[in-house]
Amino acid sequence: MKTMFATLAVSAILGMSSTAFAAVTEKPADADNFYKSDKVTIQKVTFPNQYKMNIAGNLFMPENMDQSKKYR
């Protein structure tokens, strides 16, 4: 089942034209419209997935988080 979804995802990605990728790289003016809180810090992160593609995202952490402690 996972292989079928992976094959569909890869097929969908390969089926996109290069112009579609160019359009995605441009950030719309209203793309950063999420509520911002002074109680959290946002850190940009990237990591490789199982297909060795880099995934990008935001990591939200509490402002008062002590990184020396272990949280559950």
Q: Which amino acid is at 21?
A: F
Q: Would 17 be classed as within a structural domain?
A: yes
Our count of domains for the chain comes to: 1
Q: Would 49 be classed as within a structural domain?
A: yes
Note the pTM of the prediction, 2 decimals: 0.47
Question: Which tokens belong to 8?
Answer: 């569909």
Q: Would 53 be classed as within a structural domain?
A: yes
DSSP letter assigned to residue 31: S
Whole domain around residue 51: which residue ranges?
A: 2-26+37-62
Q: Would 54 be classed as within a structural domain?
A: yes
Label the pairing between strands 40-48 and 54-62: antiparallel
Per-residue confidence (pLDDT) for residue 7, from 0 to 100: 46
Q: Would 72 be classed as within a structural domain?
A: no
For the beta carbon of residue 40, count every other beta carbon within 10 angstroms: 14
Q: Would 22 be classed as within a structural domain?
A: yes
Q: pLDDT tens digits, residue range 7-55?
A: 444 444 555 544 555 555 676 666 677 778 899 999 999 999 999 999 9
Q: Would 31 be classed as within a structural domain?
A: no
Per-residue confidence (pLDDT) for residue 46, from 0 to 100: 96
Continuous segment of H or E residues that includes residue 21: helix 18-25
For the beta carbon of residue 41, count every other beta carbon within 10 angstroms: 13
